[in-house]
Amino acid sequence: MSDAVTDAEPLAADAHDFFKTTLSLRPGFLIRRLHQIHLALFAEECAAFGVTPVQYSIMSVVLLQPRIDQARLGHEVGVDRATLTNVIGRLETKGLIRRSKKATDKRSNLVKLTARGEAVLEGMADAVQRAHARTIAPLPPEDQARFLDYLNRLVDAGNEYSRAPLRIA
Amino acid sequence: MSDAVTDAEPLAADAHDFFKTTLSLRPGFLIRRLHQIHLALFAEECAAFGVTPVQYSIMSVVLLQPRIDQARLGHEVGVDRATLTNVIGRLETKGLIRRSKKATDKRSNLVKLTARGEAVLEGMADAVQRAHARTIAPLPPEDQARFLDYLNRLVDAGNEYSRAPLRIA
């Protein structure tokens, strides 16, 4: 390592030290990075399907609960209303879901997968599983289980703080 | 629990089962949720400063490496070029950073904090620390350390997969 420091060409060692002493201790920074990595792995595994992780979560819930109310759907995947409207619109354009109005309340949208949506969801299941598995694959199996347990505890404990809390109970 | 199932009004128990058997086993889903929770905690703690987590990471790096090249800055915080241009533009509009051209290469932007940027960064340090701490506070201290260790190992191992890999070594 050199002692020379110039303004315009910072040393890589500085950056490395900064990462070690600062960024690597910030859970929020690391979580953002890991989320980016997961999005990339998901995109790589699922490129053929053109469905994002959030779209996939939404379709998973709709498969299980056909004609689910759109507002409720948002609560079950933790997606805020504006994002959900956007995502649902895209899935509808792709012919993967269909919206209809509730007979008793014209303001409510009910959401259902199309036959094509069901086929896509089924067809991409293995690829999605690989994307999730690869995200934590660098850890040994027993640490993977512990990492998932930590995530579940933190997500559960922090639920109310998020912009779109899960409402499933 | 009731056995009755209707199309339009799915039972909460279904959603709860789905979460337990499916969503809670998907690391990518949990990481997205925890990221949302951290963003909310950061927003709550740092509301007075109007600076987002990514903006804060960028300012932290610039403080340590005044006149850092903009492209390099992106590599050190793991932010892609389009996002970075956007964020840097906002920070400049707020008067927190200043850009200048490199004398030897007019295409390169050098980035530096303004005096106000330095003051904001220093002023929000405690609030940022609280946001990070609260994100993992539900775990006992020894589990917090292990969780951070897991995150670091996964972020390191998956770095090359992400859209904007960290380049710091």
Residue A117 in this model has a pLDDT that exceeds 50: yes
pTM, rounded to two decimals: 0.83
With beta carbons under 8 A apart, name residues in chain A contacting B147: 27, 147, 150, 154
Task: Please state the ipTM of this predicted complex.
Answer: 0.83
Nearest alpha-carbon partner for A16 in A1, A30, A29, A37: A1
Nearest alpha-carbon partner for B56 in A117, B45, A57, A164: B45
Please answer yes or no on whether B102 and A8 come within 8 Å at the CB atom: yes
Residue B70 in contact with residue B88, Cβ under 8 Å?
Answer: yes
Average pLDDT, chain B: 86
The amino acid at residue A54 is V
A40 to each of A52, A135, B115, how far by Cα in Å?
10, 10, 37
Q: Name the residue among A25, A35, A65 with its Cβ closest to that of B31.
A: A35
A4 falls in which pLDDT band (50, 70, 90)? very low
B119 is written with which tokens? 């003051």
Closest residue, chain A, to B157 (C-alpha): A138
pLDDT of residue B14: 66
From the CA of B127, how many Å to the nearest CA of chain A?
13
Q: Name the residue among B28, B139, B147 with its Cβ closest to that of A131.
A: B28
Of A66-80, A153-167, B41-55, the one with minimum mean pLDDT is A153-167
From the CA of A119, how many Å to the nearest CA of chain B?
19
Please answer yes or no on whether A158 and B41 come within 8 Å at the CB atom: yes
Closest residue, chain B, to A140 (C-alpha): B150
Please answer yes or no on whether B41 and A72 come within 8 Å at the CB atom: no
Sign of torsion over alpha carbons A60, B40, B30, B79: positive
Residue A66 in contact with residue A113, Cβ under 8 Å?
Answer: yes
The amino acid at residue B53 is P
pLDDT of residue A32: 92
With beta carbons under 8 A apart, name residues in chain A contacting B100: none
User: Helices (DSSP H) in chain B: which residue ranges?
Assistant: 12-21, 27-46, 53-64, 70-77, 81-93, 115-123, 125-136, 141-158
Tell me the C-alpha distance between A16 and B66, whole Å: 16
Tell me the C-alpha distance between A72 and B9, whole Å: 10
pLDDT of residue A15: 66
Residue B88 in contact with residue A54, Cβ under 8 Å?
Answer: no
Look up residue B66 and give its DSSP letter: T
From the CA of B13, how many Å to the nearest CA of chain A?
7
Nearest alpha-carbon partner for A15 in B163, B56, B77: B77
With beta carbons under 8 A apart, name residues in chain A contacting B42: 28
pLDDT of residue B11: 47
From the CA of B90, how many Å to the nearest CA of chain A?
20
Tell me the C-alpha distance between A131 and A38, whole Å: 7
What is the phi/psi pair of residue A88, to 5°? -60, -40
Cβ of B25: how many Cβ atoms within 10 Å? 14
Please answer yes or no on whether A26 and B132 come within 8 Å at the CB atom: yes
Render pLDDT for B44-77 as a digit per residue (tens, 0 to 9): 999 999 999 999 999 999 998 889 999 888 888 8
Render pLDDT for A37-58 as a digit per residue (tens, 0 to 9): 999 999 999 999 999 999 999 9
Please answer yes or no on whether B31 and A34 come within 8 Å at the CB atom: yes
Burial of A9 (0-12, 13-18, 19+ CB in 10 A): middle
Tell me the C-alpha distance between B1 and A161, whole Å: 29
Burial of B67 (0-12, 13-18, 19+ CB in 10 A): middle
Average pLDDT, chain A: 86
Selected for mutation to probe chain A from B34, B52, B102 (highest A CB count within 10 Å) is B34
Residue A13 in this model has a pLDDT that exceeds 70: no
With beta carbons under 8 A apart, name residues in chain A contacting B52: none
Residue B55 in contact with residue B61, Cβ under 8 Å?
Answer: no
Render pLDDT for B68-104 as a digit per residue (tens, 0 to 9): 999 888 888 888 889 999 999 999 999 999 999 888 8
